[in-house]
Amino acid sequence: MKSLLLEHLAWPDVEAALANGYRTAIVACGAVEQHGPHLPLFVDAEHGTALALSVASKLGNTLVAPTIRVGISEHHMGFPGTMTIQESTFQSICMDYVTSLVRHGFNQIFFIPTHGGNFKPLENMLPMLSETAGADVKVVVYSDLVGVTEVWERVLEEVSGFGERVGGHADIAETSLMEHLHPDLVRRERAEAGYTSEMTDEAFTKMIQEGFKSITPNGILGDARGASAIAGERCIDGLAELLTAYFKNKIAS
């Protein structure tokens, strides 16, 4: 295999891969939205592709479908450049992905959200995705956002002692991801702290209903300072291990 990325292959390569047992496909669901004053808009989309590739290599016999790059990001629209789609549109895209992959012979389809706003919608649509796929196809959605944050906190604490700077958005973890994947696009001089108070139910509701800018004017949850490429690489490795174990457990059950 020259690449595990489906879109990098020619159709005879995909045909041969399917014949040789590559029947699992991973779909990453990212976003193109603000990530503070220091990071590019495509953080979640790029993270999605990198994470999906890492998981695919660990699982074996797995290809990575094109990342769904734009997600449900209405709560970020107060910041210029953010793109968003409606939940119904997101659902239709995911269902069409499943339909396409199943028609070609994939019998396991794993969804990985790398944008917080995609987690709950994906979890909610799982029954419809499974029905669309049919009884002979296993569709699995990873939907534990807290699990992601815990991996980031552990990694950043081990690497730098800054685990408390993880806040979940444009923070030290996501800044580290971009230092690893696209260091040329990180505006390090703009990295700063954002909303660092406890995320209470009241604050979360305000953030969703009134937008991110209502609680964090710079668009950061946590603190972006102290990021490093090695921390970003280890964040991807840590999440890939978590997800690989999760999917293997779902396959076995």
Residue 63's DSSP bridge partners are 25
Over residues 169-185, mean pLDDT: 98
3-state secondary structure of 226: coil
113, two tokens: 């959200």
Q: What is the pLDDT of residues 63-99, one digit of tens each?
A: 999 999 999 999 999 999 999 999 999 999 999 999 9
In the prediction, which pLDDT does 245 show?
A: 98
CA distance 56 to 68: 16
d(CA 188, CA 168): 18
| pLDDT at residue 74, as a whole number | 97
Average pLDDT of span 43-60: 98
Q: Residue 212 half-sphere exposure, CB side, CA atoms within 13 Å?
A: 26
The reported pLDDT for the residue numbered 206 is 96
Find out whether 38 and 223 touch, Cβ atoms under 8 Å: no
Q: Is the pLDDT of residue 237 over 90?
A: yes
Inform me whether the pLDDT recorded for 1 exceeds 90: no
With 0-12 / 13-18 / 19 or more C-beta atoms within 10 angstroms meaning exposed / middle / buried, residue 200 is: exposed
Q: Are 53 and 5 in contact (CB under 8 A)?
A: yes
Integer Cα distance of 30 and 137 in angstroms: 24
- Give the Cα separation of 61 and 49 in Å (integer): 17
Summary mean pLDDT of the chain: 97
* Residue 70: per-residue pLDDT: 98
Mean pLDDT of 25-48: 98
**Quick check: 253 pLDDT over 90?**
no
- Could you tell me the fold of the domain covering 6-144+236-252? Rossmann fold (3.40.50)
The ranges assigned to domains in the chain are 6-144+236-252, 147-233
- In this prediction, residue 96 carries a pLDDT of 98
pTM above 0.85, yes or no: yes
| Whole-number Å distance between alpha carbons of 102 and 202 | 42
Tell me the per-residue pLDDT of 214-236, one tens digit each, with 9 for 90 and over.
999 999 999 999 999 999 999 99
Query: Residue 233: what pLDDT?
Result: 98
* Cα 97 from chain centre: 17
Q: Which residues of 121-144 are buried (b: 16+ CB within 10 A; e: fewer)?
A: bbbebeeebbebbeeebbbbbbbe
